């Protein structure tokens, strides 16, 4: 089991990713307009967990995630590489966030003529969070960005280079965010038989939350 080592990876590396230090509170450095509190907290992975939406007419994927600011990205990357037995995958991302009356809507441009339009719902709370989302791929992110900007208006933008590691059922992201610094994001990939509580337990047990101070 990688659990004790995984906890060690997180416990020595981070300061708490509180609202005062989150992307949302710093977004005026890079965003077109200040978003509402907690806006820049994205969702990216495709998971197996599915939960029914409010009208019970279809299902939406979901996961449990947590974010924190990284104090030593070099050390963190080395430890994550050791635990995942890989050097990680580098992914460039340009996220554009649009005005949305319900939930959150963003266009993720991978800077290689591919992207994803992502709608998601996630509470603005500390600690592990449940995210429900829908994703639609696109082969022309710039044109889609123009249409959505004209129709809805832009809330803000985030550019980052992400390094992705896979450890067990958890996706570990190390993000170098333009203008803001280095952050980590853990996404617990929910299995079909797991509950939200199971996902929260994985987050809490794996990352040693009391050390993120």
Here the contacts of 116-122 (C-beta below 8 Å, separation 24 or greater) are: 116/44, 117/144, 117/148, 118/42, 118/43, 118/44, 120/42, 120/43, 122/41, 122/43, 122/65
pLDDT surpassing 70 at residue 10: no
Mean pLDDT of 154-182: 94
Task: Report the percentage of the chain scoring pLDDT > 90.
Answer: 43
Q: How many residues does the chain have?
A: 213
* Beta bridge partner(s), residue 71: none
Side-chain-side CA neighbours of residue 62 (13 Å): 24
| Residue recorded with tokens 């969070």 | 129
On average, the pLDDT of the chain sits at 75
- Spans of all domains in the chain: 3-37+50-96+156-211
* pLDDT confidence of residue 181: 96
19-59 confidence digits (pLDDT tens): 334 443 343 333 333 333 333 333 433 343 444 444 445 66
pLDDT surpassing 80 at residue 75: yes
Tell me the pTM. 0.70
Side-chain-side CA neighbours of residue 126 (13 Å): 10
């Amino acid at each position: 089991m990688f659990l004790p080592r995984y906890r060690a990876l997180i416990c020595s590396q981070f300061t708490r990713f509180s609202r005062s230090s989150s992307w949302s509170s710093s977004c005026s450095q890079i965003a077109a307009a200040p978003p509402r509190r907690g806006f820049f907290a994205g969702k990216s992975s495709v998971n197996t967990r599915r939960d029914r939406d409010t009208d019970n007419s279809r299902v939406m994927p979901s996961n449990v995630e947590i974010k924190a600011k990284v104090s030593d990205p070099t050390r963190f990357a080395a430890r994550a590489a050791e635990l995942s037995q890989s050097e990680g995958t580098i992914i460039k991302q340009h996220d554009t966030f649009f005005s949305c009356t319900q939930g959150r809507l963003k266009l993720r441009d991978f800077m290689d003529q591919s992207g994803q339009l992502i709608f998601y719902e996630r509470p603005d709370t500390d600690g592990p969070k449940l995210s429900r989302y829908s994703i639609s791929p696109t082969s022309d992110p710039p044109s889609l960005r123009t249409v959505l900007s004209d129709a809805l208006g832009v809330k803000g933008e985030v550019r980052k280079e992400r390094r992705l590691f896979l450890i067990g059922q958890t996706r570990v992201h190390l993000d170098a965010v333009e203008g803001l610094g280095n952050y980590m994001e853990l996404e617990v990939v929910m299995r079909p038989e797991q509950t939200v509580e199971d996902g929260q337990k994985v987050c809490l047990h794996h990352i040693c939350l009391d050390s993120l101070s």
